[in-house]
Structure 1
Amino acid sequence: MPAYHSTFLAEETQDSRTVGNFAILPIKTKFKGPAFPSLSDYDIIDEVLDLFRANSFFKNFEIKGPADRALIYGILFVSQCLNSLNIRVSHNEAVKILTNLSLENFAIPGDIGFPLNSLYTSPKDKNEELLLRQYLSQFRQELSSRLIERLYAEDKSKPSKYWLAFTRRKFMNKSL
């Protein structure tokens, strides 16, 4: 059975925004950044959260376009978020931990410390590098915010054990 790919691959056209080969997709977000506001109810963040548990079982993933690269980055970031939490973390503590994680200094494609440089093309110039860094910062903030909503949907005192069960899984044997 093949892994699940992004549904946003079909929406990619000649005028869609990409930096290197990473798709800059619209996001419905409350955080400031370069992403266009999403007009639909379903965006790349929802897709990452919906496909995380199913795709985390796969060690191989065929990349079909820039939207798949955004999906890969999102899945690896969710994995990193889950690894920073434990079963005893309350909702307020999780907000602090994941907010700090999403805002901390991180590597982007082309940087020496970025673990997926073989899959991503580096930005062409400083402007594209700044755009990608700002977009990924916005992407990470919104993703961690929505992840917290899902983790604590039933009980604010402890995260869902059905999400934390995936902390040992490594999608594509990679981590951020």
Structure 2
Amino acid sequence: MPAYHSAFNEFSDAMQAGNMSILPIRTKIRGPAPLADPEQGDIIDETLDLFRANSLFRNFEIKGPADRLLIILILYISDCLAKIGSARTVPTQIEASKMLNTLSVDNFAIPGDAGFPLNAHYAPPQSRADAEYLRTYLTQVRQELAIRLVERLYADGTGKPSKWWMAFQKRRFMNRSLGS
């Protein structure tokens, strides 16, 4: 059974930084990301929907530039779940939001940086301006992803993260981590 790939690979008019798509998202967070249609799903919804299924795979064939963004976001979700799972006490929804918001704005490696774990699969941005644009875009996407992830983790109203999500905190998609 093959891994699930992004439906946005066919989105031909998307901008690219390096060889990764810059896709529109639905967000209220300020940043450079193009705004998506509020009635349509975006890459963040797709990542949250595909995370648990794809995190079971050790290999992933990249079929387009949107898959590269999907990989980074899946690895970021893994880091978020690990961060919540490593807390001394089970965090409330507000505490988890604060933790993940801090994690999303922390300094992180982008393709082309020495500390980026998947440099073999990603082309570095062409210029310093492209690299800065990619960093701010990924920061905005990570912030929005953290908000939506917390909503899903605490959707049942018990005040504790869902065990069906937290079961994946030790799983490593492609045996990798962003190292956040």
TM-score category of the 2 structures, normalised to the smaller one: over 0.9
AA aligned opposite 2:36: S
Q: Which runs of 4+ in 1 moved over 4 A?
A: none
What residue number does 1:65 align with? 64
What residue number does 1:38 align with? 36
Identity level (%): 57
AA aligned opposite 2:107: N
Cα distance in 2 for partners of 1:156, 1:97 equals 19
How far apart are residue 157 of structure 1 and its match? 1.7
Q: What is the TM-score normalised by the length of structure 1? A: 0.96
How far apart are residue 119 of structure 1 and its match? 1.0
What residue number does 2:177 align with? 175
What residue number does 1:22 align with? 20
CA deviation profile, 1:22-81 (whole Å, cap 9, x unmatched): 100000011111111001420000000000000000000000010000100010000000
How far apart are residue 156 of structure 1 and its match? 5.0
How far apart are residue 155 of structure 1 and its match? 2.2
Cα distance in 1 for partners of 2:114, 2:158 equals 39
AA aligned opposite 2:84: L
C-alpha contact 1:91 1:156 (8 A) present in aligned 2: no
What residue number does 1:115 align with? 117
C-alpha contact 1:152 1:158 (8 A) present in aligned 2: yes
AA aligned opposite 1:74: L
SS in 2 for 1:168: coil
Count of aligned pairs:
174
Q: Of residues 150, 160, 167 in structure 1, which corresponds to 2:162?
A: 160
How far apart are residue 102 of structure 1 and its match? 0.2
Cα distance in 2 for partners of 1:30, 1:7 equals 23
> Where does structure 2 lack aligned partners over 5 or more consecutive residues?
none
Cα distance in 2 for partners of 1:48, 1:103 equals 19
Q: What is the TM-score normalised by the length of structure 2? A: 0.94
Cα distance in 2 for partners of 1:16, 1:84 equals 32
What residue number does 2:141 align with? 139
SS in 2 for 1:85: helix
How far apart are residue 16 of structure 1 and its match? 2.2
AA aligned opposite 1:29: T
